[in-house]
Amino acid sequence: MDVETGAPLLIDEEEVTAQTTFRARSNEGSVSVEFSFDSTGLKGKSVVVFETLEYAGSEIASHADLWDTEQTITFAAPIISTSAAGADGENTLDIGASVKLIDTVSYEGLLAGETYTLKGVLMDRVTGRPILIDGEEIRAETTFTTAAAPSVPTLPNTPAAADTAVVAPSAPAAPIIMAIASPAATLIRQGAPDAPVNALTTSAGTAAVTFTFNSASLIGKTAVVFESLTYKGREIAAHTDIMDDRQTVTFREPSISTSAAGADGGKELDISPKVKLTDTVSYDGLLAGQTYTLRGILMDKAAGTPLLIDGEEIRAESEFKPDAPEGTADVVFTFDSSGFIGKTAVVFELLECGGTVIASHADINDAKQTVTFKAPAISTSASGADGAKELDISPRVKLVDTVSYTNLTVGVKYLLKGVLMDKTTGVPLLIDGEEVRAEATFTPEDTDGVTEVLFSFNSIFHRHDRRIGGSRFRDA
């Protein structure tokens, strides 16, 4: 009977009844009546056992007191609580492709020796909704079996203690507490008022639910673990408090900063067919042993757009596994800087984990991310072979052009090309219809220096004070 309603207890719209037939051996004694039923929907409910005694098809006695505590059974609700943390017990989880979260579930009031399933889901504390990765909820479950009940001596005229599902009252006036969560609960009621009631052993303990997932998209989020306890496919307990700090974890916010420089550590880069730029990236908040990728691109500071070589962006990347949450990694760019004379470039960096960007550093005004390209310059001084500014009229005259240079790259071969110009007309000087040209190759040992270009030509037709740059021809 349902104590609350005073009506028969219904399970699936059916009354819970039982009967037993016995032969009396004396005018006094006891006999057991066993009820078997699904108690998973009876959390916190109190029921009273009503009995009638029949002989030859007629009722000869009954016991039907709704307030009789000795006839009353209360179904205790199982209780679970949880404590979520990372693999090392931390409450702040790393950002990685395979991150572990362990939810330790404490339970009590379960049946000893029975198998249960815990099912968990990660919830977004801000929205109150399940967290999604690629549109899928983050779920995990575990199945566990509670410790077996200790053996109990069999009472007279009752089934074995292992078949009993009744907890003896602590005092004669107290109601019997019966464990919940059994689709096949067995209640055995003794016929004699003073007969002892067999004890049911309930179980308490812990079980772990382990979540493994890619947390790259969860930067800075706060997650709460919700748990559901099921028995034979039916939920019998849950813990779903979005504000419970013990169920809560947060995810790190990785950060990076960069410092760009040339091969020698300088902030000025050479103009060269193969120049090297190293961007040293400092990181924080990473997961040791996880694989990460840094992707960099060179930006034109003046334009705010990527630098281009033959229409292609200048990119570089580096893959690394940190040994600790904090550290540095290098991204090395190698490219032809010939077209960037005097330009200022800024390195932008992205940090990726499992294909997802988890941090970036893209400040166009950050001086540490900035480098400039040198602007080589030359100046010349022309004279005759003896250093004079007047040249002889001769079939084979020599002119030496001394070239001073700055901002060149040490060890790189350069080519100087010269042409004689007629100062009066402003066009190239022609001899027999040909321009007068000369060239010289050299490899500087320092960024600044001098070298020479030697012209040798027939000056006979260029008398009468014809001038070439700062030199003129003497009359013969």
pLDDT band at 466 (very low <50, low <70, confident <90, very high): low
Residue 294 has pLDDT above 70, yes or no: yes
pLDDT band at 36 (very low <50, low <70, confident <90, very high): confident
Using the structure block, give the residue that is written with the tokens 């029975």: 114
340, 271 Cβ separation under 8 angstroms: yes
- CB count within 10 Å of CB 216 equals 22
- CB count within 10 Å of CB 330 equals 12
Write out the two tokens for 72. 């009353």
First-to-last C-alpha distance (Å) of the chain: 141
307, 348 Cβ separation under 8 angstroms: no
Q: What is the pLDDT of residue 267?
A: 95
Q: What is the pLDDT of residue 412?
A: 86
Q: What is the pLDDT of residue 172?
A: 34
Of 452, 428, 449, 448, nearest in space to 440 by CA: 452
Read off φ and ψ for residue 368, nearest 5 degrees: -70, -25
Residue 476 has pLDDT above 80, yes or no: no
82, 112 Cβ separation under 8 angstroms: no
Tell me, letter by letter, the H, E, C secondary structure of the chain: CECCCCCCCEECCEECCCCCCCCCCCCCCCCEEEEEECCCCCCCCEEECCEEEEECCEEEEEECCCCCHHHEEEEECCEEEEEEEECCCCCEECCCCCEEEEEEEEEEEEECCCEEEEEEEEEECCCCCECEECCEECEEEEEEECCCCCCCCCCCCCCCHHHCCCCCCCCCCCCEEEECCCCCEEEEEECCCCCCCCCCCEEEEEEEEEEEECCCCCCCCEEEEEEEEEECCEEEEEECCCCCHHHEEEECCCEEEEEEEECCCCCEECCCCCEEEEEEEEEECCCCCCCEEEEEEEEECCCCEECEECCEECEEEEEECCCCCCEEEEEEEEECCCCCCCCEEEEEEEEEECCEEEEEECCCCCHHHEEEECCCEEEEEEEECCCCCEECCCCCEEEEEEEEEECCCCCCCEEEEEECEECCCCCECEECCEECEEEEEECCCCCCEEEEEEEEECCCCCCCCCEECCEEECCC
Q: Which residue has the higher pLDDT, 262 or 462?
A: 262
d(CA 380, CA 412): 20
**Torsion over CA: 244, 246, 248, 251 (sign):** positive
* Cα–Cα separations (whole angstroms), residue 95 to 178, 213, 241, 280, 358: 46, 10, 25, 21, 8
pLDDT band at 116 (very low <50, low <70, confident <90, very high): very high
pLDDT tens-place string over residues 54-101: 999 899 999 999 988 888 888 877 899 999 999 889 999 999 888 999
Pairing of strands 72-76, 176-179: parallel
**Torsion over CA: 203, 204, 205, 207 (sign):** positive
- Which residues make Cβ contacts (< 8 Å) with residue 325, sequence separation at least 6? 94, 284, 285, 286, 287, 288
pLDDT tens-place string over residues 276-292: 999 999 999 998 888 99
Of 333, 251, 314, 259, nearest in space to 286 by CA: 251
Residue 392 has pLDDT above 80, yes or no: yes
Read off φ and ψ for residue 255, nearest 5 degrees: -140, 155
Read off φ and ψ for residue 312, nearest 5 degrees: -110, 140
Using the structure block, give the residue that is written with the tokens 């950060």: 255
What's this model's pTM, rounded to 2 decimal places? 0.63
pLDDT tens-place string over residues 125-160: 999 999 999 999 999 999 999 988 665 454 444 443
Q: Of the given ranges (150-159, 192-201, 220-229), which has the lowest mean pLDDT?
A: 192-201
Greatest CA separation found in the chain? 163
282, 303 Cβ separation under 8 angstroms: no
The arithmetic mean of pLDDT across residues 394-410, rounded, is 92
- Which residues make Cβ contacts (< 8 Å) with residue 210, sequence separation at least 6? 100, 101, 102, 103, 140, 142
